[in-house]
Chains A and B, each alone.
Chain A
Amino acid sequence: MEILYSLEKSTLTIFLIGELDEFSAVNAKQKLDQIISDNKPQTILFDLSRLSFMDSTGIGVLIGRYKTAKALNGKVYVKNISRSIDKIFLMAGLYDIMPKISYKEQKNEIH
Chain B
Amino acid sequence: MKYINQFSLSVDAKSINEGFVRSAVAAFCVQLNPTIEEIGDIKTAVSEAVTNSIVHGYKGKDGQIVVTVGLCEDGKTIEISVQDFGVGIPDVEQAMQTFFTTSPTDERSGMGFTVMEAFTDDLLVTSEVNKGTLVKMKKLLGANGNEIDNEQL
Contacts and interface: CB of A to CB of B under 8 A. Distances in A.
Contacts of A91: 111, 114-115, 118
Given A88-B44, A88-B115, A91-B118, A21 B109 contact: no
A73 interface: no
A110 B15 CA distance: 37
Interface stretch (A9-17, A37-45, A50-58): A50-58
Interface residues of A, number: 21
A19 B15 CA distance: 12
Interface size class on chain B is: 20 to 34
Interface string B90-126: 0000000000000000111101101100110000000
A63 B119 CA distance: 21
A60 interface: yes
Contacts of B15: 21-23
Interface of A: 19, 21-23, 29, 53, 55-57, 59-61, 63-64, 82-84, 87-88, 91-92
> Which one of A22, A63, A88 has the greatest number of beta carbons of chain B within 10 Å?
A22
B16 A53 contact: no
Contacts of A87: 41, 118-119
B73 interface: no
Given A55-B48, A56-B48, A63-B107, A21 B37 contact: no
B54 A22 contact: yes
A83 B37 CA distance: 8
Nearest to A82: B40
Contact of B109 (A19, A23, A56, A83): A56
Nearest to A85: B40
Nearest to B17: A23
Nearest to B19: A19
A60 B108 contact: yes
Given A21-B18, A23-B16, A84-B44, A55 B108 contact: no
B76 interface: no
B43 to A, nearest CB: 6
B111 A59 contact: yes
Nearest to A57: B51
